Amino acid sequence: MNYPKLFAPLDLGHITLPNRILMGSMHTGLEDKARDYDKLAAYFAERARGGVGLMVTGGISPSIEGWLKPFGGRLTLPWHKPRHRKLARAVHAEGGRICLQILHAGRYGYHPLSVAPSRIKSPITPFTPRALSARGVGRTIGDFVRCARLAQEAGYDGVEVMGSEGYLINEFIAARTNRRNDAWGGDAARRMRFPVEIVRRTREAVGRDFIIIYRLSMLDLVEGGQDWSEIATLARAIEAAGASIINTGIGWHEARVPTIVTSVPRAGFAWVTQKLKGEVTIPLVATNRINMPDVAERILAEGEADMVSMARPLLADPAWANKAKAGRSERINTCIACNQACLDHVFQNKRASCLVNPRACHETELKIGVAAARKRIAVVGAGPAGMACAATLGERGHAVTLIDQAGEIGGQFNYAKQIPGKEEFHETLRYFRHQLDDTGVEIRLGQVADAASLRAGGYDEVVIATGITPRQVSFPGSDDPRVLGYLDVLARHQPVGARVAIIGAGGIGFDAAEFLVEHAPSSTTDVARWTREWGVDMQLQQRSGLQPSQPEAPARQVWLLQRSEGRLGARLNKTTGWVHRATLKAKRVTMLGKVGYERFDDQGLHITVDGKPQILPVGHVVICAGQEPNRRLADELIAAGGMKVHVIGGADVAAELDAKRAIAQGTRVASAI
């Protein structure tokens, strides 16, 4: 049997789960409006079909005060039940199980009605919450209980009580946000009364045959959080109050330690869950950056937890569990923890999706059916756009030839995968290698496609996915061999000295800086090194799990430059940009804006900063000044006429291009041919 621990059933008393895989709660943006629940039902049904043991919905509020945002999803009244019944039915029809997550946002509520234990504004929301009165606390507990009852009536298998991540319950538990001096605050015992009462009264209301998962903050990662003895005491009390499962919560949203981005090592926090083993007898769930079956199996085999939670990996591949069980892990479309289409979208009030799987949350709209007529199609360029397009065309039954001038598929992903913290990009390349093979795509590498060969090839249609060319920048001395392009560094591995200036501070400028300050490629498994660098106390002797960070000295002295004013990296992605900025700050990278590039010579790079001249004493310059579309072949074919030509990815538009757009466009174009 493949992954015997992962696929061992879990007996919860009244039901037995088929395996140890929990699909963790993920807000998708489809929870808020009744009209979106058919889409949400299709999304959950596909994952139930994919074999996951138990799923949890995105956060649903038990009251208006608990909204995440105005008019956010809530389950407070009987007439809210029918939409939820759709989800439960769709999942049960596929043989799955689903719990509703009850999430009261507390002071993270993005609206003026938000409430909290004390009137203390969070650093990440503009609204100051109202402090709940003692009666208000009692009423709020009642809201949780009513929500759980309604969930039960709607057909859910259980609820998850969201007690972590800095939301209301967590705010009651931590002295940081609870300054009360009544029965609900003061010492640790009174601060934890709120969650314990919620679980106790919920269990009373729903009876024995209903799952109650409690998501417990095991590592707050903010000043004024809990210490380990308080956490263990709370866990025992939550079990005694009637919870069926304890899930792990890591870090408040306002914490300045990354918890799920791609640079966090795989299973980087499973050791925290393990510390709780022995304190309780109910199953414990490990979370965060668990994305492949071998990682999940190891956690279970080493006794770190009884279940593993994965949220984003099941956005990326709904059939994750079935593939693992069938011994086809190499076919899993792995979550690369980029956040680009899931969390970043949610923070922008957009529907979530997935960079590597654009069908996620669009199951009813983006369908990959069999093509009406089989065509011969050439796809030129095997970067993300071309790979996704060719694989989808192949899946639909077309005869596809994928041509690339490079010796391997992947395009720019082959440079991205070398950036420290982006090692997961290897997985996407592995996935596409198999997907192209399985769908019968003929791959021709090391071959430059030109208009003549394409016309002679007898193709019905051609897709041009030739990507981009890096933008050239010209100033006196820019033709010096010590002035390099980012491809000279990442693709051709030209040596770079101890002091270097980077021109351009977009995504690639930041990545190049991270590459140049690191001594060696980072490891996706070196948890000890990572916790040292970010100041996480693995001994859990410090309150909140925080200790001073100890970043390793940078491999080089780096200056990162841009012409425009304003903070460098301001346009990086919402949920990950701060991590890149913090990383470079820790490596003492000098970031300069309002820069003019004057010349390069033996003294270094001569620049002006806000008009004032300065010489940076660097031996090398690396240019990361954006990109232009590589459209020559497309334009030639279109101008010649007589052939249906599609242009996708960077070849179509280079400005603000990323792999999310490239893969989505490749998939959509292919789904319509």
Catalytic sites, residue numbers: 167
Secondary structure letter of residue 329 according to DSSP: G
Radius of gyration of the chain (CA): 26
| Contacted entry of ligand FAD, ligand SF4, ligand NAP, none for residue 630, CB cut-off 5 to 8 Å set by kind | ligand FAD
Q: Is 337 in the site for ligand SF4 (CB under 6 A)?
A: yes
Q: Which of 158, 485, 507, 649 lies at the binding interface for ligand NAP (CB under 6 A)?
A: 507
Q: Which of 120, 175, 473, 638 lies at the binding interface for ligand NAP (CB under 6 A)?
A: 473
Place of tokens 């069980």: 325
Min CB(611)–ligand NAP separation in Å: 15
Both tokens assigned to 31 = 């929870």
Angle, helices 134-154/81-93, rounded to nearest 10 degrees? 50
Min CB(352)–ligand FAD separation in Å: 16
H or E stretch including 11?
strand 10-11
Q: Is 505 in the site for ligand NAP (CB under 6 A)?
A: yes
Secondary structure letter of residue 74 according to DSSP: B
Q: Is 354 in the site for ligand SF4 (CB under 6 A)?
A: yes
Instruction: By CB under 6 A, name the binding residues for ligand FAD.
Output: 338, 340, 380-386, 403-406, 411-413, 415-416, 419, 448-449, 465-468, 490, 507-508, 511, 630, 633, 649-650, 657-660, 662
From 126-134, 233-241, 353-361, 379-387, give the range in contact with ligand SF4 by CB under 6 A. Answer: 353-361
Q: Are 59 and 162 in contact (CB under 8 A)?
A: yes
DSSP codes of every residue in 269-293: THHHHHHHBTTBSS-EEE-SS--SH
Q: Are 145 and 159 in contact (CB under 8 A)?
A: no
Q: Is 573 in the site for ligand NAP (CB under 6 A)?
A: yes
- Per-residue interface string for the shown chain with ligand NAP, residues 326-345, x marking contact by CB under 6 A: --------------x-----
Q: Is 295 in the site for ligand SF4 (CB under 6 A)?
A: no
Q: Are 390 and 402 in contact (CB under 8 A)?
A: yes
187: CB partners within 8 A, 6+ apart: none
Angle, helices 507-517/577-586, rounded to nearest 10 degrees? 40
Q: What is the dihedral of CA 217, 222, 226, 232, to 10 degrees?
A: 40
Min CB(490)–ligand FAD separation in Å: 6
Q: Which of 277, 519, 563, 585 lies at the binding interface for ligand NAP (CB under 6 A)?
A: 563
Q: Is 340 in the site for ligand SF4 (CB under 6 A)?
A: yes
Q: How far apart are the C-alpha atoms of 422 and 415, rounded to whole Å?
A: 10
Place of tokens 């791609």: 262
Handedness of CA 113, 115, 121, 124 (dihedral sign): negative
- Could you give the 3-state DSSP secondary structure of residue 461? strand
Residue 528: name the closest of 538, 519, 520, 518 by CA: 538
CA 334 to chain centre: 11
Min CB(312)–ligand NAP separation in Å: 15
| Contacted entry of ligand NAP, ligand SF4, ligand FAD, none for residue 199, CB cut-off 5 to 8 Å set by kind | none
- Phi–psi pair at 96, nearest 5 degrees: -100, 180
| Contacted entry of ligand NAP, ligand FAD, ligand SF4, none for residue 354, CB cut-off 5 to 8 Å set by kind | ligand SF4
Min CB(431)–ligand SF4 separation in Å: 11
Min CB(335)–ligand SF4 separation in Å: 3
Taking the least distance from each CB to ligand SF4, the nearer of 114 and 353 is: 353
Q: Which of residues 586-615 bind ligand NAP (CB under 6 A)?
A: none
Q: Which of residues 306-325 bind ligand SF4 (CB under 6 A)?
A: 312, 315-316
What HEC string does 384-404 produce? HHHHHHHHHHHHCCCEEEEEE
Secondary structure letter of residue 472 according to DSSP: P
Q: Report how many residues bind ligand SF4 under the rule CB under 6 A.
A: 14
Q: Is 656 in the site for ligand NAP (CB under 6 A)?
A: yes
Both tokens assigned to 587 = 């490596």
Min CB(353)–ligand SF4 separation in Å: 7
| Contacted entry of ligand SF4, ligand FAD, ligand NAP, none for residue 403, CB cut-off 5 to 8 Å set by kind | ligand FAD
Q: Is 288 in the site for ligand SF4 (CB under 6 A)?
A: no
| Contacted entry of ligand FAD, ligand NAP, ligand SF4, none for residue 408, CB cut-off 5 to 8 Å set by kind | none
What residues line the site for ligand NAP (CB under 6 A)?
A: 340, 471, 473, 503-509, 511, 562-564, 573, 624-627, 656-658
What residues line the site for ligand SF4 (CB under 6 A)?
A: 312, 315-316, 335-342, 354-356
